[in-house]
Structure formats: structure tokens, C-alpha cells
Amino acid sequence: MRAESSMRVWVLLSFFMEVCLSDFPKAQNVSWSSVNFKSMLMWSPTPRNHSYTVEFSELGQDRQRNPYCIRMMETECDLTASLKNLKSYYRADILSEPLRGVSSDLVEFPYASSEKLSPYHDTVIGRPEFKIEVSSDKRKMTLHVTDVPTALFNDQNKRLNIRDVFGDELQYKVIYKKAKSTGKKEKLSKSSIIEMTDLDKGVSYCFHVQAFLPSRPQAKQLGELSSIQCSPDENTSIFEEYGMGVIAGAIFIIILAISTIIIVAVICYRRRRPKSTGKEGLPLNGV
């Protein structure tokens, strides 16, 4: 009986000693951040007496390691170049391990797992840039959209844009309205050059553009909304174009210039007029 009690005490002591010596807290708040195919794995807390190692895998495949994310002291790992099959889904584990150069008797280290991520289906598409071209007859506007660059490169080390990755699946959604109206309209385009023809001639319109991927789940179909841009207003009055302050200043300058010209003209006239002989206006002498 005494021997059995001693064994239990020894087992408990061994367990608590192992817990104290390992002291490798699990990672917390594990999450993915993927924008324009730059895929980052992030977590907390910042390590003190331990390090982190990241292991990742395609679902159903063997685990791999990124050489830059082994026994690291940071709390994020860039896996952009490691997630080669963009349409596949990946999971990652963050292992809590000893510091570099420090050994441990533990066979398995504490770890925390991420949610799954597919770069192709989950990455957020950033806000596009575009330019507005107004036709000579003022009846049509064309939006020239720049396809958003990604963090991906091809075999020739050329940076890819979202059109290179998504191909014909990529569309653009245009949200537009008259500059002096609150009513909005929408238009979808499969091209990066978008012709807007249902517009009133000479009227200023304001536009937002965002990427649209109809093959994705509804919550992830739209990219970030671009900054607003407005076309010139051909019918803008002079008061709206320049403002009352500028117009008042211009009128004052014109009046001042005219007054100066008049004053100078009067002075010049008086100086050039013949002087009186002094006999003008005297009465005639009697005969």
C-alpha cells in the first residue's frame, strides 16, 4: 500500500516537474491575413523564454515548414511563397518550442491550429485605381481601371496582377451617380476598360470601382471600394467654378484698373491743355 502511494506521488511530481520545466505556452488568437495574395499567419503572445515554429499543409497532405519560421521570436509568418497551389485549402500549426540552442526532453510540443485558408477564394482584393476619359462629344465616359498588383511572381520573376490570376473570372463593379444627386446606379464589366454611355451630356458624374468575383461565396465576392473620382462639369456656372471670393477679387481688380486709367488720363489732359494768356475774359476797350 505504501509502495503504491509512493508511486502515485512520484508520478504526480514528475508530471508537475515536466509542466514547470516545459513552460511553453500555446499560441493564442491565431488568424490569417491575406490581401492581394500576401498571406500572413499571425498569433500572440510575444515569446519570452520560448520560440515558435510554424508548420503548414494542404488539407490531406504532409506538413511542411517555412525555413524563415523555425524557432522564431516573432508572432507572424509570411507564407505567401509557400502556398503554391492557390486554389487549395491550407491549415497551419504554431508550435511552442525552446529557444534556439536550448534542448528539451519533450517529444511533442504544445501547438495551436489555424482555420483553413484558400488564397484563391479568401484573399481580399485591394482598392483599384482608375482614370476617367470624356469623349469629345461629351456623351460617353470611359473608365480605365488598373488591375491591382498582387504579391505573386511568375517563373520569370514578373509580378502578377489580379487579372493574371483570375483571368475571365474577374469583373469590375462600378457604382456611379450625378455629382449633385444622391441616387446611385451600378454596372458590371468583364473588362478593365469600362464604357459608360447612359449618361447625360455635359453633366459631372462620380464613380467608385471595385473588383467582383462571382465564383466566390457571396460574402467574399467584392474587393475593397476605390476612392471616389468625379468627371468635370461642363455646365458649371462661373460662380460654382471659381467661387464668390475669387469673382469679387477679380471685379475689384478690374474696377481699380479702370479707375487708375481714368485718373491718369485726366492728369495727362490737364497737363497738355494750353495755358491762359491772362487777357481772356477782360472787357473790350471803348473806341
CATH of residue 233's domain is 2.60.40.10
Does pLDDT of 123 surpass 70? yes
Tell me which residue of 181, 187, 184 sits closest to 145, measured CA to CA. 187
Q: Which own/partner pairs from 218-222 qualify as long-range (CB within 8 Å, at least 24 positions apart)?
A: 220/121, 220/122, 222/173
In a domain, 286, yes or no: no
Task: Give yes or no: residues 69 and 89 share one domain.
Answer: yes
Please give the single-letter amino acid code of residue 224: E
Residues 6+ apart with CB under 8 A from 76: 40, 41, 42, 43
- Asked which of 75, 105, 122 is the last residue of a domain, the reply is 122
Give the mean pLDDT of the chain.
Answer: 86
198-243 confidence digits (pLDDT tens): 898 889 999 999 999 999 999 999 999 999 999 987 654 555 445 5
Q: Are 216 and 121 in contact (CB under 8 A)?
A: yes
168 and 104 part of one domain = no
Asked, for residue 285, whether it belongs to a domain, the answer is no
Q: What's the structural domain count of the chain?
A: 2
6 with 118, same domain: the answer is yes
| Same domain, residue pair 102 and 146 | no
Q: Give residue 139's pLDDT.
A: 83
Mean pLDDT of 129-145: 93
Is residue 226 one of the residues assigned to a domain?
yes
Check whether the bond before 110 is cis (ω within 30° of 0).
no
The verdict on 85 and 8 lying in the same domain is yes
Q: What is the mean pLDDT of residues 57-70?
A: 95
Note whether residue 273 is domain-resident: no
Sequence letter at residue 108 = E
* Residue 234 pLDDT: 65
In a domain, 274, yes or no: no
Same domain, 139 and 212: yes
Residue 251 lies in a domain: no
Is residue 250's pLDDT more than 90? no
In a domain, 197, yes or no: yes
pTM: 0.72
Higher pLDDT residue, 257 or 70? 70
> What local confidence, expressed as pLDDT, does residue 106 receive?
80
22, pLDDT greater than 60: no
Segment 250-263 shows an average pLDDT of: 85
Say if residue 32 is in the same domain as residue 104. Answer: yes
Strands (DSSP E) contained in 225-267 are 229-230
Residue whose C-alpha cell is 489732359? 269
What is the extent of the structural domain holding 234? 129-238
